[in-house]
Amino acid sequence: MKPKQNAIRVDTKESKWHTKLLLVSAALFLTVQTYLTLAPFLVRELPVEADDAYSYIQKAEQMRTCFLQDCEALANLQEQLLAPSDQESVSAQQIRQYHRLFVIYHPLHSVLLLALGGLGFSFETAYLLLAVTTKLFLSVGIVYWLSTLFKHSVSAIAVLLLIPVVYIGTGIHTIVPSSMALALALWLWAFVIRRKHNIQAIFILLSLSMIVFHQAGKLYAGVALGLYILLNLPLMKERRQQLFVAGIGLLIGVSLLLPYLLTKPQLNFDPTSFYPFDWDLLAEIIPASAYPIDIMTTWLWAFSFPIVGALLLLVGLHGAWQQKRRAALYMAALLTLLAAVSMLYVVPWFGALFFERAWVPLAILLTGFVALGIHAAITQLPAALANLKQRNLRALYRQPILLAGATMALVAAASITYPQFYARHYGLTLHNQIDRQDFSFSQEQPQDLFSLRILPGEFVLYSHELPLYYYLTYGGLAHGAIFLPVIQGTPEEEYWLAEHAEDIRYLAALSPVPERKGIPMEGEVRISTPSTNKIIADIVQIYITSLDADARLDVRLQQGDESISLPVTIPAGFQGWLELATSVEADEILLSTNTQLRISGLRVGSEQHTYWPWQAGISMQVGLDSEVTQYDFRPSSLLPDAGFNVEVLDDEGSIILAELSAAK
């Protein structure tokens, strides 16, 4: 008789090595993810996503100086933005600006910006500090939340999978008020799971905080309440628990109703009221679902093929069901419900806008389930193979060898693309965060305008949203404001531009060269006048940014059939005004170089005190063949067909400040 063999079992106990592995993966996750948020701020002058950032920042200034939104600029802008329009492009601009300028949906974010400002920080630095602090809090919250749902060993695998992950939209890389609400939600969900029922005080504090951070916080608080009830069903008969649940429900309910009760400041608005046609929500849900479906399938495609990602997810869900991980399954149900409901909230022009915010926590959780399946395969497969080797069929029958083997095959298939997929998207996201709207603003511009130049009753005409937000932040709230994109070509144009022509004295426009680093000189640069006039100047200079190596610049003065060549050598590290020629009389000036330069200014004549030759009426073409970019430095190009004479006062940075006078 053969001796009875002992079955080889899987050790499911947590060990200190599992905790150490979780800490190591968490450290890597924090480093990689924090770098993605912090690095762009360190190489830019303006906050990341400048249009979004300054829309938030100007709300803080509103809270400080115009709490009831009754100052002159906002009164003017509200009238312009609420004017009925049958032009879809104008209506889309109206809803965008009304939401950004008037709807107060992140008051705690504004309070924190003002508090940091009170400590001596600029708005821009305060915005950076909030973003980086929130990113750290959010990243640690993700790790802690996963560790309450799964074993440390499983959580470590999940965090390793999340290290390079970026999500479509704001995700967790661009930190905005909704990110701050999510960070608080993750911690609250973790506390509910860890401590179950004895968390009333912290539940109220975190719920209230996330609600006033962003509207998404109301829904995250609802998820927390649902989780609390599900995990404490036996205790729901207690009077104390019933009162607590009712109190949190009342808090969420009041937060949902309050915006409809208060009119100033504006806490909510109806997006469909801006739509110029009949709005049929039911008809819009299906077309709008394309974007959420694309987000979900993109997540699945990271695993080589969607079917591979779906099967890995099913294996993890099966494991969670077998292990009776109630908290994880409850969270999955609640977050899936939240995502489904968010697909029903469709906004004109923006689709299922909230789905991005509902998807992030769900995607993190789904990654946890994938990690659970991988962990089960890793731990069970060796034992199953050992039992097979010993021909211990009874024990083998109890070991899911086929499932474990199939899971490892799926992992092998997913590993072909998963690292490359997210490494590529991580790099693209990092470059986008650095390069998009990498502008430069001069704070002296609005200070000079609002403290020294503008008189009571005069208006500033804004032709782009970024100058509008920036000037409102730094003194513009107290002065008349007209936003050109929502009135030009509409019946309102006559009232705002024609009837107020004598009072519209200044223009704030985005520069034709808004990039902080200037124009990349690729191919040939052709400097000329749009008219038949010659370029006549005592000196011609260009402003060059710093170079890593010596560069040669070939300058040609073209006069009819004659051409004069003037080679110029630029030393490495040079930055500033570079003299090209003196006593110039030419039809055009041609520049070419053996390396890439960046031009941040062009001076035609010693009397020019701006960076670009507005008074000389110069145009500049950069590039070759079909890749030519035209830059027009005629003042009229800043405000075409508006009936004003334009004189540029200051063009430092990305905003042009000009003085206007009504054309005769």
CA–CA gap between residue 525 and residue 629 (Å, rounded): 10
Burial class (CB within 10 angstroms; exposed 0-12, middle 13-18, buried 19+) of 377:
buried
- Whole-number Cα distances in Å, 168 to 17, 294, 358, 419, 445: 34, 10, 12, 17, 36
- Whole-number Cα distances in Å, 178 to 217, 219, 594, 637: 7, 11, 47, 39
CA–CA gap between residue 84 and residue 490 (Å, rounded): 10
Q: Which of 350, 439, 365 is nearest to 169 (CA)?
A: 350
Counting as low any pLDDT under 50, the low residues of the chain are: 1-12, 393, 395-397, 399
- DSSP structural state of residue 498: I
CA–CA gap between residue 469 and residue 390 (Å, rounded): 73
CA–CA gap between residue 608 and residue 601 (Å, rounded): 11
CA–CA gap between residue 113 and residue 344 (Å, rounded): 33
Q: Which of 463, 437, 595 is nearest to 516 (CA)?
A: 437
CA–CA gap between residue 190 and residue 195 (Å, rounded): 8
DSSP string spanning 227-289?
A: HHHHHTGGGGGSHHHHHHHHHHHHHHHHHHHHHHH-TTTT----GGGG-SS---HHHHHHHHT
Chain segment 337-381, per-residue pLDDT in tens: 999 999 999 999 999 989 999 999 999 999 999 999 888 878 776
What pLDDT does 416 receive?
Answer: 78
DSSP-based three-state secondary structure for 112: helix
* Phi/psi of residue 352, nearest 5 degrees: -80, 75
CA–CA gap between residue 566 and residue 578 (Å, rounded): 13
According to DSSP, the residues that pair with 603 across neighbouring strands are 541
- Whole-number Cα distances in Å, 416 to 11, 160, 402, 644: 30, 16, 22, 61
CA–CA gap between residue 649 and residue 646 (Å, rounded): 9
Whether the bond into 265 is cis, omega within 30 of 0? yes
- 448's tokens: 């000079």
What pLDDT does 389 receive?
Answer: 57
Burial class (CB within 10 angstroms; exposed 0-12, middle 13-18, buried 19+) of 2:
exposed
Q: Which of 529, 656, 546 is nearest to 599 (CA)?
A: 546
Half-sphere exposure of 606 (CA within 13 A, CB side): 6
- % pLDDT > 70, the chain: 93
How far is the first Cα of the chain from the last one, in angstroms, to the nearest whole number?
115
- 503's tokens: 């009072």
- 190's tokens: 């973790």
According to DSSP, the residues that pair with 515 across neighbouring strands are 439
CA–CA gap between residue 394 and residue 379 (Å, rounded): 19
What pLDDT does 2 receive?
Answer: 43
Half-sphere exposure of 246 (CA within 13 A, CB side): 8
CA–CA gap between residue 85 and residue 98 (Å, rounded): 14
Chain segment 436-445, per-residue pLDDT in tens: 999 999 999 9
DSSP-based three-state secondary structure for 322: helix
What pLDDT does 601 receive?
Answer: 92
